[in-house]
Amino acid sequence: QVLLVESGGGLVQAGGSLRLSCAASGRTFSGWATDWFRQAPGKEREFVAVIGWSGGSTYYADSVKGRFTISRDTAKNTVYLQMNSLKPEDTAVYYCAAASSFNRRTNSGMDYWGKGTLVTVSS
């Protein structure tokens, strides 16, 4: 059974920072990419960032570029999303997902999903 578990969400003031974690278990994800998506209230789930298996390749949505950093600890099978300079519009449930390809970056392209962690940014 594949399990992706997000943690690190919470309430933060605008301009603050949070670090989300996504711990994977249940199979070997060698060669797989890990994505972060988010879903704000009343909106569709959208792509945020992706990292390749080796950690050498990353890609970000324009809305978070320069503020968010995705990284991976392969030994721990964990992916992180460092979120700085948070804005109220970053408020959403954040999901991590695993895909067998780096270039999918779509909801339908993911093979496994976590249950999400809520991030709330107050103004």
Residues 4, 113: contact at Cβ < 8 Å? yes
The closest alpha carbon to 70, from 78, 62, 25, belongs to 78
Mean pLDDT (the chain) is 94
Taking the CB of residue 36, how many other CB atoms lie within 10 A of it?
26
Whether the pLDDT of residue 28 is over 90: the answer is: no
- Model pLDDT, residue 121: 98
Could you read off the pLDDT of 73-123 as tens digits, one per residue? 988 989 999 999 999 999 999 999 999 888 888 989 999 999 999 999 999
pLDDT given at position 29: 73
Specify the pairing of strand 117-122 against strand 92-99.
antiparallel
pLDDT of residue 75: 87
The amino acid sitting at 74 is: T
